[in-house]
Amino acid sequence: MPKPRQLAIEFPPGRGGKRAGSGRKPNGRKAVVWHVRRPEHAARCPVHVTLKVRRDLPKLRRESLLRVLRRAFAAGRERFGFRLVHFSVQADHIHLICEAEDRRALSRGLQGLNVRVAKAINKVLGRRGKVLADRYHAHELTSPTEVRRALAYVLGNHAHHRAQRGVRSWTNAVDAFPSALGLDGWTCRVRSSEPWGYAKPATLPPSTWLLGSGWLRAGGRLDPRAGPGAAAAAPPSARMATVSRRRPCGAAPIFGAR
């Protein structure tokens, strides 16, 4: 009697199995953020989040869009253990600096905020459909140096992009599209770069030590006239230095009711 041998089962081509082109398809030509499980999050660490919008949308840096985005930020700034502390609206992306109790709180809070942002933008533009190009990108800030650099970059992001084009500003005017006027950490009094402003903040004050006062140990307050790159790179002699009072170097902030 011949020895039995195992036969291979032939499956017709179709769904299932490892093959070229299988798996979840990216949003667009290339995935911006991989669809993997988010890492665990420590409540003591702030998070720098970036939201990328679709390329077929117009630029976000207009007053009408900023107005509704601030309302969306204010409505979703504190939910499920999530807190929004700073934001910056750029032409095709939005930066956020936030706090969360854990990974689930961060995910749920950002999901709700993303829905509010998408609805607000679609309402102003009179359109329907997706607004965000992909998942949000999140980077945990674990040290005073990281937090200081993130604040300098997010609140001075427009100046960073202008500097890349060779345009620099040496005044105490800060960009009106981030929450820069709400930061109590400038070396001088700052004013808005636009004639209009907002009386009510759309964000919350920080609750973590790193985002509240810990970042001052990495070089002291930020200079709005130095640009984001120079503000982030504090000299060694400025380490552990803090400034108790802001010295005036320009006009007072402009706040206007909206």
Instruction: Give me the mean pLDDT over the 103-123 stretch.
Output: 95
Q: Residue 59 domain-assigned?
A: yes
Q: Residue 14 domain-assigned?
A: no
State pLDDT tens for residues 37-93: 777 899 999 999 999 999 999 999 999 999 999 999 999 999 999 999 999 999 999
Q: Residue 65's domain spans which residues?
A: 47-238
Q: Residue 31 domain-assigned?
A: no
Q: Residue 230 domain-assigned?
A: yes
* Residues forming a β-bridge with 86: 97
As given in the structure block, the two tokens for residue 107 are: 């995910």
Q: Residue 255 domain-assigned?
A: no
Confidence of residue 28 (pLDDT cuts 50, 70, 90): low
256 has a pLDDT exceeding 90: no
Q: Measured over all CA atoms, what is the biggest interatomic distance in the chain, rounded to whole angstroms?
A: 100
DSSP string, 52-97: EBPTTSPPS-SHHHHHHHHHHHHHTSEETTEEEEEEEE-SSEEEEE
- Residues 138, 154: Cα–Cα separation, whole Å: 13
Q: Residue 141 domain-assigned?
A: yes
Provide the pLDDT for residue 196: 78
Q: Residue 27 domain-assigned?
A: no
- Residues 122, 54: Cα–Cα separation, whole Å: 12
CB 117 within 8 A of CB 243: no
Confidence of residue 31 (pLDDT cuts 50, 70, 90): low
Q: Residue 36 domain-assigned?
A: no
CB 43 within 8 A of CB 102: yes
Total domains in the fold of the chain: 1
The CATH number of residue 156's host domain is: 3.30.70.1290
Q: Are strands 47-52 and 173-174 parallel, antiparallel or unpaired?
A: unpaired
**Where does 101-225 show beta strands of DSSP type E?**
137-140, 173-174, 191-192
Contacts of 174 (CB under 8 A, 6+ apart): 155, 156, 180, 181, 186, 190, 191, 192, 193, 224
Q: Give this prediction's pTM.
A: 0.76
